[in-house]
Amino acid sequence: METQLIIAGQQIRSRFFLGTGKFASYQIMKQAIISSGAHIVTVALRRIDPQAKEENILEYIPKDCIVMANTSGARNAEEAIRIARLARALGCGRWIKIEVIPDNKYLLPDNAQTIYAAEVLAKEGFIVMPYVNPDLADARRLRDAGAASIMPLGAPIGTNKGLALRELIKILIEEIELPIVVDAGIGRPSHAAQAMEIGAAAVLVNTAVATSDDPVSAARAFSLAVEAGRLAFESGLSPIRESAQASSPLTGFLR
Amino acid sequence: MKARVNGEEVLLTEETSMAAIIARRKINPQAVVVEYNGVILTREKFDSVVLKENDALEIVAFVGGG
């Protein structure tokens, strides 16, 4: 039986978090949320385009989900704080994924600016979920700033490269008592399972699901992999060995 | 009278309330949040705020994102 994930005192039903970007339609996104059983879903905040006649995405997110706004588009702490406050004013609660990205090629986060934004937003009562490079000293600073979890990238956003930063993420899992959520770069269910097997608390996927041919099935596949990986972690698997070890008895041979 | 809405300059010929700006653009006020000269404006104030020369508005909503 899998242990419950608790973040900021709240029980989270699924260790699979789903991003809502890049889906062909909000209807498909909704079906993917349902098929995966995701409890936490992320959204972004943008200027409205009156010509586009966009629908309200919130109408397509099941009411029992936690809507976590991200601060995408922010290039520094000040912009992230501004976006977080606007998101809260929209009335979807206090969960915020702090994402400060000054670089357009690799979309790598700026840890220093993220830490500053985390300090400010945690004091304002936000449940702060910072997206960061997996650095132990910075993760400690974020913990001290009041972050509810740490969300290191597995690989750059949208690359589907998997756990490129595996060893550094492992260190965060071992050393930081907060839930570690691997966010970005997870491109295959096997990557998600690997993250969970090393003890990640959860995994956040968007691109790999949304841009697959069948996002509803892909979402379910990732969600199952997350569950399998978690169960494997909790079952305490035996170590990997260099030489063979027989699984059948080595006595009573018919020779 | 000139104002900026979502970064674009708009010409307003008469006194215009925030509620009128929202209605004219056929925006559902429940789905947006407005920042008025850098300050978040709650929906209850949409009727009472009347735009002035050089005011800056940001009207934002949630969209898909990761």
User: Tens digits of per-residue pLDDT, A18-52?
Assistant: 999 999 999 999 999 999 999 999 999 999 987 77
Contact A47 B6 (CB under 8 A): yes
Instruction: Please give the structure tokens belonging to residue A136.
Output: 């132990």
- How far is it, in rounded angstroms, from Cα A75 to Cα A83? 11
- A187 close to B (CB below 8 A): no
Q: Is the dihedral of CA A200, A134, A119, A95 positive or negative?
A: negative
- A255 close to B (CB below 8 A): no
* pLDDT digits 0-9 by tens, A146-193: 999 999 999 999 899 999 999 999 999 999 999 999 999 999 999 999
Catalytic residue numbers of A read 97
Residue in chain B closest to A83 (alpha carbons) equals: B60
Per DSSP, the three-state class of B63 is: strand
List strand residue ranges (DSSP E) for chain A, in order. Answer: 5-7, 10-12, 16-19, 40-47, 66-70, 95-98, 127-132, 151-152, 181-183, 202-205
Most confident of A166-180, B15-29, B47-61: A166-180
The ipTM assigned to this model is 0.90
**B10 min Cα distance to partner chain A (Å):** 14
Report chain A's mean pLDDT, rounded to a whole number. Answer: 95
* pLDDT digits 0-9 by tens, A110-155: 999 999 999 999 999 999 999 999 999 999 999 999 999 999 999 9
- How far is it, in rounded angstroms, from Cα B28 to Cα B34? 12
Contact B65 A42 (CB under 8 A): yes
- How far is it, in rounded angstroms, from Cα A67 to Cα B64? 11
Residue in chain B closest to A47 (alpha carbons) equals: B60
Which residues in chain A are closer than 8 Å to B26, comparing Cβ atoms?
Answer: 50, 53
Mean pLDDT of B5-29: 86
- B60 close to A (CB below 8 A): yes
* pTM of the complete model: 0.92
Please compute, for residue B20, the number of CA atoms within 13 A of its CA located in the half-sphere on the CB side. 10
